[in-house]
Amino acid sequence: MSVGYAVQDTSTMLRRRMRHLLRYPSITLMLAGLPVVFLLLFVYVFGETLGAGLGGTSGGRARYIAYVTPGVILLAIGGSATGTSVSVAMDMIQGFVARYRTMAVFQPALLTSHVVGSVVQSLISVVVVVVVAVAIGFRSHATVVEWLAAAGLVTLTSLAVTWLAVGLGVKARTVEGASNTPMPLTMLPFLGSGFVPTDSMPTALRWFAEYQPFTPITETLRGLLLGTAIGNQGWIAVAWCAGTSLVCFFWARRLFNRRTV
Amino acid sequence: MSEASPPAVAVTGLRKSYGDHVVLDGIDLRVPAGSVFSLLGPNGAGKTTVVRILSTLVPADGGEARVAGHDVARHPERVRKEIGVTGQFAALDNALTGEENLRLMADLHRLGKRAGRARVAELLDRFDLVEAARKPALAYSGGMRRRLDIAMGLVGSPGILFLDEPTTGLDPRGRRAMWEIVRELVGNGVTVLLTTQYLEEADQLADRIALLDGGGIVAEGTPGELKRRVPGAHVRLRFAEPRAYAAAARMFEAAGRNDEALTLRVPGDGGVASLRLLLNALEAESLDVADLSVHTPDLDDVFLALTGRRRKEAVR
């Protein structure tokens, strides 16, 4: 199998995935809409009080918009995992994979197309969230380099979440199962520093919040966009993303090759 | 079919188990190129497992399987270039339209834009899907899905086509349409390996049938050969005059008599040779036969006789 064929087959499968996105725009809308609802809910309903709890001199709500936006961005990324694992599971279970495997094609193209498609989908959600956040008063003084770094981190996080979701999708025995297993990913931004500082949490929860991957990612994103201190959180965030992507890549690939359909 | 041309499918001692459950217990198959070969058996007999192994989806536990001369375990890539797979377990992309599904296959076969378009248009036309071409496959009826499914398997012009239960769940009209499609494919030189649980279907389409039951092949041959292997074949003779009838009844003592209708049921194997002997004997005695018909048992009788039990499911 030549490199040319690999590229050609991957782009063919990617076109298919993009066609899916266009055919079912409601899924993309829902994936972007839900974090927007959370953003509005947290800013306008809880924002004044939560912002006051953050301390400092500026007003509660305005301050909370800045604080919560990175958390909602990660919520958008985590939430897209469900769509990914469901679409992978549908291919596995409904038999498209069986047909694909009997063809003389570049086999990794199928999962790769899901990964690229899902990353694009979650980046669309992130852009929508950022646009809405800016519209309701989110302001960043980040430089172009910082914005690019933030975009890079968001993409890397999305890649890690997507490979995990792809693995869960390949492993799922039913489409329902595939829609349930990634649920914890939607919860993780809440159980970290995404919505409130971790030191306000009870001890056991705080311990979990400080060591789970979404916290260093949130802190790094916040540092890049708002100029807060990043410290070693940046490297920890990148290590988590790269490690998860790599481990889940091999795991998903192994499952895919082994799983009899 | 010349004997010299290599078989499209050659299988020896194929074994497959899932845990303790033995699905295939050492089966041998030989499908001559250009023929229709039917694997016939009840649900759970292992038909689909055979197709999965031959189409490189599942590795066998033992034995050897060659498709178009290539070992499926060692050179799956080469096998995949020669085959088309459709049916039960291989599905379509429900989100795409019929045309998009076919275009996807054309792209994966790397036909190129113009040739791909032409092939897709040709298949849409041939499988009567032109009107539905722009509708999502999700909205297709069972018969349309099967037609699209087979069309997708044909985009790459495979020499060998695996049809896994192509008519299960179709109404009689859809079934007949599918048979026509299969006959047309074979007319164009495609080798077809067909699995079915319908005896009539195997009888209608197949050059050779292997009866698969309990993980083994219990019988193999042409539909006619299989039928002759079970008792029940006979020639029915009707006479115009009572004199000739009485004379013939004395000649064939084993025959069942119907004195009122002047008919005799002469048991035999249903073959041409025994029929000729019968006719020669009648000729020698100058007995005029008004009407003659040869009755061979249908495949239901074959199934019962060779597997020693009734099929669990009704034919229809």
SS (H, E, C) chain B: CCCCCCCCEEEEEEEEEECCEEEEEEEEEEECCCCEEEEECCCCCCHHHHHHHHCCCCCCCEEEEEECCEECCCCHHHHHHHEEEEECCECCCCCCEHHHHHHHHHHHCCCCHHHHHHHHHHHHHHCCCCCCCCCEHHHCCHHHHHHHHHHHHHCCCCCEEEEECCCCCCCHHHHHHHHHHHHHHHHCCCEEEEEECCHHHHHHHCCEEEEEECCEEEEEECHHHHHHCCCCCEEEEEECCHHHHHHHHHHCCCCEEECCCCEEEEECCCCHHHHHHHHHHHHHCCCCEEEEEEECCCHHHHHHHHHCCCCCCCCC
pLDDT value of residue B4: 57
Share of chain B above pLDDT 70, in %: 94
A2 — contact with chain B (CB < 8 Å)?
no
pLDDT value of residue A108: 93
A246 — contact with chain B (CB < 8 Å)?
no
Find chain B residues with C-beta within 8 A of A98's C-beta: 57, 85, 89-91
Q: How far is A166 from chain B (nearest CA, A)?
A: 18
pLDDT value of residue B312: 45
pLDDT in tens, B130-142: 999 999 999 998 8
B108 — contact with chain A (CB < 8 Å)?
yes
Question: Which residue of A93, A102, A113 to mutate against B (max B Cβ within 10 Å)?
Answer: A102
Beta-carbon separation of B96 and A23 below 8 A = yes
- Exposed/middle/buried for residue A201 (C-beta within 10 Å: 0-12, 13-18, 19+): middle
The tokens describing A129, both together, are 């969230």
Instruction: Give me the interface pTM, i.e. the ipTM.
Output: 0.86
Q: How far is A182 from chain B (nearest CA, A)?
A: 23
> Which residues span the domain enclosing A94?
3-258
Pick from A8, A99, A103: which is nearest to B91 by CB? A99
Mean pLDDT of B108-123: 95
Beta-carbon separation of A103 and B136 below 8 A = no
pLDDT value of residue A60: 83
The tokens describing B211, both together, are 């009866």
Q: How confident is the model at residue B315 (pLDDT cuts 50, 70, 90)?
A: very low
Beta-carbon separation of B89 and A95 below 8 A = yes
State how many domains chain A has.
1
B292, pLDDT greater than 70: yes
In terms of pLDDT, which residue wins out, B255 or A171? A171
Pick from B89, B90, B108: which is nearest to A105 by CB? B108
Mean pLDDT of A165-174: 95
Contact partners, residue B77, CB within 8 Å, separation at least 6 = A1, A104
Beta-carbon separation of B77 and A1 below 8 A = yes
B55 — contact with chain A (CB < 8 Å)?
yes
pLDDT value of residue A112: 95
A260, pLDDT greater than 70: no
Pick from B77, B90, B104: which is nearest to A104 by CB? B77
pLDDT value of residue B2: 47
pLDDT in tens, A89-106: 999 988 899 999 999 999
Find chain A residues with C-beta within 8 A of B56's C-beta: 101-102
Find chain B residues with C-beta within 8 A of A95's C-beta: 89-91
Chain B, residues 172-231, CB within 8 A of chain A, namely none
Beta-carbon separation of A103 and B156 below 8 A = yes
Taken in order of first residue, the domains within chain B and their CATH numbers are 9-220 (3.40.50.300), 234-295 (no CATH)
Find chain A residues with C-beta within 8 A of B75's C-beta: none
B9, pLDDT greater than 80: yes
Output the pTM of the full model: 0.82
The tokens describing B107, both together, are 């792209």
In terms of pLDDT, which residue wins out, B175 or A59? B175
A57, pLDDT greater than 70: no
B38 — contact with chain A (CB < 8 Å)?
no
Beta-carbon separation of B56 and A102 below 8 A = yes
Beta-carbon separation of B77 and A12 below 8 A = no
Pick from B58, B80, B91: which is nearest to A103 by CB? B80
A257 — contact with chain B (CB < 8 Å)?
no
What average pLDDT does chain B have?
87
Mean pLDDT of A108-115: 95
Beta-carbon separation of A16 and B93 below 8 A = yes
Pick from A23, A104, A261: which is nearest to B57 by CB? A261
Count how many pairs of residues, chain A against chain B, have C-beta atoms within 8 Å: 62
Mean pLDDT of B216-228: 86
Beta-carbon separation of B110 and A8 below 8 A = yes
Mean pLDDT of A196-216: 93
Pairing of strands B191-196, B21-31: unpaired
